[in-house]
Every structure is written in structure tokens, then in C-alpha cells.
Chain A
Amino acid sequence: MKHNVLILGASGFVGRRIASALASSNEWSPIAASRKASAASLGNVRTANIDTKDANQLKAALQDVAAVINCVSGDSQTIAAGGQTLFEAAAAAPNPPKVIHFSSMAVYGSAAGTITEDAPLKGDVGSYSAAKVHVETVARQYKRAVILRPGIIYGPGSAQWSERVAHWLRDRRIGDLGPQGDGFCNLIYIDDVVRFVLNSLSASDIDGQAFNLAMNDPPTWNDYFIRFGKAIGAVPVRRITSRRLKLETKALAPGLKIMELVSRRVGIRSPLPPAIPPSLLGLFAQRIRLDSHRALAVLGTDWTALDDGLRQTAVALAPSLNERRVS
């Protein structure tokens, strides 16, 4: 008999990929949940309308599930309130489910150096990181929580770290950033994330633990941009001056972001290129390296090699990059 597994945030990049992988599982029966169930629809996968901030909805949904995977993303308020409600509801459920909770490397805040899961959670780089720390604090009270702290999830479908970056690279708006790109880019390929989640569902002895998810020996952001640029044919990769980066993040980003929000509100695609948010400058320079040896022991195999991941990403992105170029 299959066990029900509820995927919260199933309309997003990670949730959707996990739901898709679980759909072919012999052990698990996924329920793809989102604020708008239609957004999470995926073949024959069951869907559910759930707003994680609504305790009653969550309580009802947790009646008959063996596990929950929390992939909800959004603003810091949604993350903090939704996370708290989830763990309270799980604790009150007749059969408390295993909860695999997607936290983030952002919980380590401004830390530098090689970071294991035992490092203090600083949460000092903005409201997003503080919200993630808040939810982890709540999750720690729940015995069946498994906390995942992924780095930069890339791969086909990653709007944030693959598609957006590819467009920046193609338009030569980003590239070799010099000192400003010396931070470590703790990449993790989407398929590795999915594999890890599937293994975590079956693993009986990892409840209550946290796991960093990132490839070993991560490249710097400069290396990532150069290698990704080469993979998508956006060469030569340009050296970006700090002057240009400042112009992008301080002067252009606010306008582009407003246009993006307005376009989304009226239901059209923004005619303007994606903004480079100023918040990324700190990340690109941060010398933090996630130690994910603990996760590798659960995974049992190695992470996808960066060149393989980039190659597959480039293949998936080719139509979109070409389409934008033609238009």
C-alpha cells in the first residue's frame, strides 16, 4: 500500500519536480498542494488547495498523510507564518507525519568559511534569512522534522539561478565580477535535491537532523558564470566593472523590478530584462562553503558533476534563449 505524502508549495520549481518524481514511486502517493491547486496540477497527481497560513486547512490535510514536504517559498512573512502553522498542525495530528522542511543556507547569514550543520544560525542578512531561522527554531521542537538547507538549486526549470542568470549572461550584464564574485557558489543540481528528498522519505534514522545540500568543492560565482556562459554559448564572458554592477543593482534594478511586478499583476510577461537585485551582491562575495558530507551519507552516491548539470541546463534553456534573441 502506498503512503500519502503532501507536498506544500508544489506549484514551485522544487515542489513540482518532487511531485513528478513521486508520481512514479511504488511507495508514495503524492498530493500536490498549493494556494491554487490548478497551479500544481501535474498529470494524474492529486492536487489540493492549501494556504499554509490557514491552520484549519492544514489540520484537515494532515489527517491521512505519512509525510509532508514543505517547499513553500514566498516573502518572509509567508515563510515564517506558514512554517509555524505547519509544525503546530503536524504536532497536533493523530499520527504526526515526517516533515521534510526546505530551509536554506540563508540561515547561516553572513557566516564565512566551511560551514557544517552544527554552525550557529545567524539569520542576519535580511528578513528572508531571519524568517528561515524562525521556522527552523519551531521545527526543532518537532521530533519528526528533517531540515534541508540547500545552497543554490540550479538546473532545468530553475528560474532564479539558471534561467535568470542565463539571460544576464547572454545580455553580457553579468560575467566575471572580479573581487565581487569571489564568494563560493554552493550549487546543487535539482535532480540531486529530488534524489535526496526521496531517500529522506525512506530513511528512518534521520528525523530531527539538518542537512546542508551543496556540491563538494563549489566554484566561485565568477567560475559559475564563466562555465555557465560557456555552456550556453554566451562567450566571451565579459569582465564586469564594479561601476557597471553598481549601475545595474542600484539604478536599474528598482525600475526593472517594478515593471516586472506590474507585468505580473496584469498577466503579461515583462518586456524588460530581469533585474539584478542589490541583495545578490553580498551573496556573490560571501566566502561561505557548505559542508554536505552528512547529506552524502544519506544520498549514497555523489552529486551531479557541475559540467554535466550545466550541459543539461543549457539544452533545456536553448529554446528560451533563442526565442528571446529572435524577438
Chain B
Amino acid sequence: MMLDTSDLLDGHLLSADLCIIGAGAAGIAMALEFIDSGIDVLVLESGGRVEEPDTQMLYAGSVTDEKLHAPPDRYRQRRFGGTTTIWGGRCMPLDAIDFEERSYVAHSGWPFGLEELQPYYPQANRLCEAGRFAYTIEEAFDRPTRPMIEGFSSSKFTTNTLERFSCPTDFGARYIHMLEAARNVRVLLHANVTALHLNSAGTAVNTVSVRDMRGKRCTVEARWIVLATGGLEVPRLLLASRDVHPNGIGNQHDVVGRYYMCHIAGTIGAIKINKPLASVWHGYDIADEGTYVRRRFALRPQTQRELRIGNFVARLHHPRITNPEHRNAILSLLFLAKYFIPYEYRTRLHGTQPTTFKEFLHHVRNVALGPFDAVAFAWHMLRDRKLAARKFPSIIIKSKANLYSLDFHAEQEPNPESRITLANRLDPLGVPRIQVDWRYTRADVETVTRAIALLAEDIKHSGAGTFDYDPASIETELTRYGAYGGHHIGTARMGTDPRTSVVDPNCKVHGVDNLYIASAATFPTSSQANPTLTVVALSLRLAAHLKRLINARADSTDSASRDVTEALSA
């Protein structure tokens, strides 16, 4: 059932068994799991069904180094469906090694292994509409597929693991019909949570304060609360709720907001394949159920251990768009069309450097010299991306010269100095805004440096071609666009020790009996993988845990009532 705060009276008190704060990937995935469960669920969503500028600006905040991190109101959406309304849809599970405590990755280690999430990944994949949970080429296809580079073999990298692509599915638009029809799930729109209020002992959340943009206030009482917002909003709400604990909820040991990770990503070098054009396949395959999938280079776990570096993947990519020297009509067309591309994608496609008039003219010339390529590409993007329900995931351009760059995506190590804090400024609802101080370490640079050197060596030794790059430029490249946008990880990390973590292995906030977190904020490490699929899997796991907990409590209440009835009738 869908409700709106504007339909409620000022001061309204809402009650539920379970209150989920946030209707993005995590919140909606959880709410769907509770349909017909007999448990009364209330989902609080700050926004409406479409983006509303005043609500979106509640996300605004400050960034310590603006070259390293996008403004906090970018790459996330404060509306029904959350950031799935703009995401790219890349899905993949974490690797087993990501869960390990690795002596060479500071503060690494999850309180459980991959096997704990395995039962939830297939359903997470379904909700993301990323097809079957099959993440190697052998599992995904029962027919032969093209190798990435014919003849390339490596003991350091695999090329058979896949990334699968969601439509990309907007969880709000996709699942609203189920939530509308659900009798035991209410979704309240325009319900901004401004604070969580603990009992006097500070051991449980008593009430949740809600306001809409017109100032109407509501209060929510629920036996269980799940904070299902993104990795920036989780620490904000915990830190801002300080009526009992002066440092904020779950922050007795100053861990909330620390260990903030994104991913270390960039594009570098020139890979020349010395083989026929047909021997390279860097585009998408389509699985039987219609999902786009793509191979990549993935650094083997054994190599990571031997070299004592983090997780790393990379893809063959087109040359940098901004430089017209590529003489490619399609790339220049993309450059010229940059004003029609959303900010979140424009930055990585075009960079932030201003273009000279001469470069601009050079791009125009490239398009003029290859009009048929440009038209064919425009038609492909119109048909397969703009008009398609399952969208072609990204720009794939076959280089006639068999020349590529390398697009890499690497793990960032947890660093307590990389953190989210509260700024002095308040938003219009009186909630402190955030201050983002994202930092990377030498170990992060080392992971990329070592992995790229290994790949260059393997490309050469396998006889596939050459990979030329400037090792001195690696740090520049990985910071060119700053922290990878949209991946907000680790700010309320999971662990068994309250001194170094915020939530326990069941995602319950240490010391607060009824408060749980469903978010990438709980990831102790970042992996090479995009986080959404794992966020959904963790949310499904949390839903299963809460169902057991709530049903067990109901059973014990029933049993207690029976005992009382029997005692009275005896």
C-alpha cells in the first residue's frame, strides 16, 4: 500500500512491527520479502516517485578535497527507488578472498565467508534482473563463446569471470505494483527521517522522527527498525541522533563514518593487439535469458596473496574520448553530445578539463570524416539503449587498429582516516549536513601499479600484443575522476568487536537491540565488485534473520498467552 505524508495529520503516530527507513535497492528488496508474512511493515521514503529538487538537496554537503570526490548530492537519489533510478546496472558477487582477513590489507576481514551470502545471491540477481546467478562463462553458456583475446593466457589473470547487467532495473518502478498490492506493507512517501530516538538506557530505538518538506511531523513506533539508506546517509543519521549518546548511535568507539571506501578506478595506456581484428572480443555477450554479460581480466586470488595487494579487475576499453587524436568519429560524436549525457556518466566519459576550441574543431572534423560510422552508432544507441527495456550497458567501440585502453576497477583498503563527519551546517529540516573526507592510501596505488605491470607482462609474454603505459601516471589516472561515484562503502562496518565495528554479523548495531542496517555501509571491505548486488543479498539475509526473530517472538508470546489462559482455567 502506498501512502503519502501529506495525507496524514500533523503529529500523527504510526506503528508497525518493522520499520524500514529508505526505499532503494535494500529497502525495497527487504519489503518484498515481507509481503504476506503476517508482519506489519512500514517503509519510510524521503522522496516521492520522481526526483524533487528540494528533497534531493537534503543530500547536499561538503567535500574536503573536491578534486577527489563528487558533491554528496550526486550519484545518489533521494526518491522512491533510491539510486537504482540512475544506476548503471553492473552486477557481480564478491569473491571469496574479499571476506578473508588478509594481513596485507589493513582492517580487512568479514565476520563470515562467501558461503553465508551464497543462498541469497540468486534471489538478489533475480531482483536486479541480472539473469541467472552464473558468473563464469562456462556456467552462463552451454554454447561456445568468443575468447576475449585469442591466444591470451595468464597464470595471474582469469578472463572467464563475468559481470552481468541489470536492465538497469529501477527498483521503484519495477516493484511498485507488488508494494501497492501488499496488504501488510505500507510505503510512506515524503517521509524524511530526521532522528532516531533511543530509550533512556540507550539500548533500543523507541521512536523515529519524520518530517515532510512542508514541516509536517510524524512519529513512528516499531519493534524493529532497519536503516536501509546508502553509505553516506547511514552515518549521517546515526551521528545526528545524539539525544542519548552524545557521539551518536553506535559510535561509542568513534567508528561510525570511518573506513569510508569507494573504488579505485581509471583508464590508462594503449593496448595494441597484434592479431586479426576478429581475434578480440571486448564487447557484450547475451545470455539465453537476454542479459548482457561481459568478460574481464580478474586478478587471481593466489596472485593477490603472493603480491600482497588488493582485488583488481580490468576491461579492454576505447581510447580516451577527450583527445581527438583518436580520429574516431563515434568517440568524437560522444564528446560533442556530452551535454545530453547525465552528469554521473558524463564525468567519466569526458573528464572535467575544459576543451580548447581547436580540440572542439578536431572532434567536429572526426565526425565529418566518418558520418556513416556516427549514424550507425547513433541508431544503435537509439534502438538498443534509449528505446530498449533492457539497455545496452555501455559504449563499445571496435578499434579498427586493434588498439584499446585499459579500464580498471580495484579494491580500496579500509582506512579509518577516510571518513564522513557531520558539518556545522543544517539542512532545511534541521539535520546536520555531511562532510566527506575521502582518502586513498599508498597500498591502493600499489594494488593498481602491480596489477597493471603484471597484465602488461602477460599480454607481451602470451604474444597477444603490447601494453604501453606510463607507470608514473598511475596515481594521476586513478585520481583523475576522484573516488568512483556512487559506491559508498564501509561507514558502519560489520564485525564482532564493537571497538572496530558498528554492526554485528547480523547487521544489528552494537548495543542497540532493535536497530539494524541494510546498506553498503556495513561492508568491512570493498572488493573489486560493484556493491549493489551484495547490498541486495545482505538485505535478503537480514530479512530472513528478522523473520525468524519476529516469528520466534510471536511464538513465545503465543505460548506465554496459552500458559496464562491455561493457568486461569485451571
Contacts and interface: CB of A to CB of B under 8 A. Distances in A.
Nearest 5 A/B pairs, CB to CB: A239-B390, A235-B288, A241-B389, A239-B389, A236-B286
A186 to B, nearest CB: 17
Interface in B111-149: 129
Interface of A: 112-113, 175-176, 178-179, 182, 226, 229-230, 235-242, 285, 287
A252 B167 CA distance: 26
**Which of B181, B287, B289, B388 has the most chain A CB atoms closer than 10 A to its own CB?**
B289
Nearest to B288: A235
A176 B290 contact: yes
A175 B291 CA distance: 12
Contacts of A242: 389
A315 to B, nearest CB: 18
Contacts of B290: 175-176, 226, 236-239
A229 B174 CA distance: 23
Nearest to A245: B389
A240 B290 CA distance: 10
B387 interface: yes
B427 interface: no
Interface of B: 36, 129, 167, 173-175, 177-178, 181, 286-290, 387-390
Given A226-B288, A235-B289, A236-B289, 17 more contacts: A176-B290, A176-B390, A179-B173, A179-B177, A182-B177, A182-B178, A226-B290, A230-B288, A236-B286, A236-B290, A237-B288, A237-B289, A237-B290, A239-B167, A240-B389, A241-B388, A287-B181
Contact of B177 (A235, A237, A285): A285
A170 B167 CA distance: 22
A108 to B, nearest CB: 16
B46 to A, nearest CB: 23
A225 to B, nearest CB: 10
Contacts of B389: 178, 239-242
Contacts of A226: 288-290
Contacts of A176: 129, 289-290, 390
A230 B141 CA distance: 12
Contacts of B286: 236
A223 to B, nearest CB: 9
A229 B288 CA distance: 9
Nearest to B285: A236
Nearest to A287: B181
A60 B226 CA distance: 70
26 contacts: A113-B36, A176-B289, A176-B290, A178-B129, A178-B167, A179-B173, A226-B290, A229-B288, A230-B288, A235-B288, A235-B289, A236-B286, A236-B287, A236-B289, A237-B290, A238-B290, A239-B167, A239-B290, A239-B388, A239-B389, A239-B390, A240-B389, A241-B387, A241-B388, A241-B389, A287-B181
A36 B110 CA distance: 72
Contacts of B288: 226, 229-230, 235-237
Contacts of A239: 167, 290, 388-390
A147 B500 CA distance: 64
A242 B178 CA distance: 17
Contacts of B173: 179
Contacts of A230: 288-289
Contacts of A229: 288
**Which of A230, A235, A236, A287 has the most chain B CB atoms closer than 10 A to its own CB?**
A236
Nearest to B143: A235
Contact of B174 (A179, A236, A237): A179
Nearest to A177: B389
A238 B389 CA distance: 9
**Which of B175, B286, B388, B389 has the most chain A CB atoms closer than 10 A to its own CB?**
B389
**Which of B173, B175, B288 has the most chain A CB atoms closer than 10 A to its own CB?**
B288
A178 B173 CA distance: 10
Contacts of A236: 286-290
A176 B129 CA distance: 10
A229 B287 CA distance: 12
Contacts of B181: 112, 287
**Which of B290, B387, B388 has the most chain A CB atoms closer than 10 A to its own CB?**
B290
Contacts of A175: 290
A178 B181 CA distance: 17
A178 B174 contact: yes
Nearest to A227: B289
A178 B129 CA distance: 9
A112 B183 CA distance: 11
Contacts of A241: 387-389
A65 to B, nearest CB: 45
A239 B131 CA distance: 11
A233 to B, nearest CB: 9
Contacts of B174: 178-179
A107 to B, nearest CB: 21
A25 to B, nearest CB: 41
Contacts of B388: 239, 241
Nearest to A244: B389
Nearest to A233: B288
Nearest to A175: B290
A246 to B, nearest CB: 13
Nearest to A240: B389
A226 B287 CA distance: 11
Nearest to B291: A236
B428 to A, nearest CB: 34
A238 B178 CA distance: 23
A285 B181 CA distance: 12
A289 to B, nearest CB: 10
Contacts of A112: 181
A238 B291 CA distance: 9
Contacts of B177: 179, 182, 285
A287 B36 CA distance: 12
B127 to A, nearest CB: 12
B418 to A, nearest CB: 39
B125 to A, nearest CB: 13
A317 to B, nearest CB: 18
B537 to A, nearest CB: 20
Nearest to A112: B181
B247 to A, nearest CB: 44
Contacts of B167: 178, 239
Nearest to B178: A182
